Chain A
């Protein structure tokens, strides 16, 4: 197994392959850095170009786009509080706070370091545990998927905002938004208010861009921040060796966790980054600095979401099942090259899966150099007067939304959700939880109803089995976490006073 990986590595290290991988990484970083252009959009834009290409070039290039986009999403998340991809939403919490303190350059370096180490760890996990981990994920039924999604949402409720009840309502509101449209089981129109376009449901990109990007623009304008003049240019600061060493255990754990989450169908980089953020906050000492510009709050989600691409390859390569939009596009790349994914591939053409694994490894190495080269231009963005940046964000938001349907309906949605997100922020709700609820909505309802159909309406099936109980325990822990940590803090304070 390892010798095949080394052979793949030798093939990936040829100049022509490095060139394709570098192009993929650059394309991915640019795509990820543009709000509304996710990894899957960037990959799909490149997909037509791979037709007729040698699969030993096209597949690594597509995989490299995925790697680059996961890092690229953190750039606007840190610099302008606008996550380029949903996976970078957790990075906003501490990354943007660091930027506000003049440590944007350091936050980007930490993000790059965490992304590369997390990515390398995930490739190692991919190489050594493809078959056993994929078979473990296969044991999951719809009830486990339901609880896993509920666990993710409960965690988001815990981490976003200071009020867990408003966080819970925000997440439930996101789940509600996902209901809008035609019911996938009975074709009943639900909450469409007689609007024909709503019967298709709400598109992810306009909702995400509106709730994140435009709501932030509205907030800055409403609070007068747009009039503020940036007097000092942000200096390019680098993390110290001590800081890098302090986050290394977090990024190694985040990368491994990202690859495990990436291997689970439906649970992508967004869930991985939120879980990594929450778990790191839960287990780290002095966690009260999270959300105020703590480097651990950047390192944890970035290592996890960069671990997801390699993790996503596990079910794709071993079982032929894509676990996310991006791996589904990669599967189309396989099909265009006339290759069928699945266990037989390891027997008939082992050089293809192992070559792809090696290319993922090489993409991380290339990401170091490309990412470092693109750091300074990224930091330059912060010295531009706010109105130019704000109007540019609005334009990217409008065009990104427009590109999904090619009409102004999506722009109208962006503005509406921008206003909803702005109002939620002003009232202390958590738009980030709404976005996650919206993304997970179909998964939650689909698995809830599939499970209940299997049990003919009985709820007992949700509480049967060790895996369900494990996820239920984590879900309850997620809801109670803010109260437990508050109680523990009060107890510590009382103890100290005594």
Chain B
């Protein structure tokens, strides 16, 4: 990435393409006789601002990439995305408390650095207590309509 197409130049290109898309798409909006300005002018104004700024990024002399101290944790990152997606998928069918317990268990068991036995104990206590606390605080005190799911009979 040290050649002509440095990271910043690729960013400039991407932003310019985005500005082009906004400009093009705005041109497809229908106009109205009752509105002298129309719905396209403002998005095109924004597309111009983004386009000009991305041109500056693309055309200026490229800087060398700065080295980062930390090595990225792709595995952990993808794991959290996966767990979040599972939370979204299970929240309505399973209900708030069971899904939250599972989510917190999955998070603490993966990331807590203690030895396995201690980790499991901490994870179970934390997941159970914190889930119930959240349900009581948000669901009962603040009136947020959290889904009861499989505990519908128990929670009412």
Contacts and interface: CB of A to CB of B under 8 A. Distances in A.
Contacts of B91: 408, 411
A118 to B, nearest CB: 29
A224 B73 contact: yes
A402 interface: yes
Interface stretch (A169-177, A257-265, A360-368): A169-177
A411 B73 contact: no
B146 interface: yes
A93 to B, nearest CB: 20
A186 B22 CA distance: 18
A232 to B, nearest CB: 17
A441 to B, nearest CB: 9
Interface residues of B, number: 60
Main secondary structure on chain A at its contact with chain B? Answer: helix
Contacts of B146: 399, 402
Interface stretch (A120-128, A240-248, A319-327, A388-396): A388-396
A218 B25 CA distance: 32
Nearest to B135: A399
A224 B72 CA distance: 7
B73 A222 contact: yes
Interface range on chain A (Cβ under 8 Å from partner) = 35 or more
Contact of A385 (B25, B34, B112, B138): B112
A218 B77 contact: yes
Contacts of B22: 176, 191
A306 to B, nearest CB: 24
B138 A399 contact: yes
Nearest to A399: B138
A44 to B, nearest CB: 11
Contacts of B132: none
A395 B11 contact: no
B37 A387 contact: no
B35 A186 contact: yes
Contacts of A175: 46
Contact of A183 (B11, B39, B45): B39
25 contacts: A166-B53, A166-B57, A169-B54, A176-B22, A176-B46, A179-B43, A183-B39, A186-B35, A186-B39, A218-B77, A221-B76, A391-B104, A392-B130, A394-B84, A399-B134, A403-B144, A408-B91, A408-B92, A427-B11, A428-B11, A449-B35, A449-B41, A449-B42, A453-B36, A453-B37
Interface of A: 45, 163, 165-166, 168-169, 172-173, 175-176, 179, 183, 185-186, 188, 190-191, 217-218, 221-227, 229, 385-388, 390-392, 394-395, 398-399, 402-403, 406-408, 411-412, 415, 419, 427-428, 445, 448-449, 452-453, 456-457
Which A-B residue pairs are the 10 nearest by beta carbons?
Answer: A387-B111, A391-B107, A403-B144, A223-B70, A183-B39, A188-B39, A165-B53, A222-B77, A172-B49, A452-B37
Given A387-B107, A399-B144, 4 more contacts: A179-B43, A392-B130, A452-B37, A456-B36
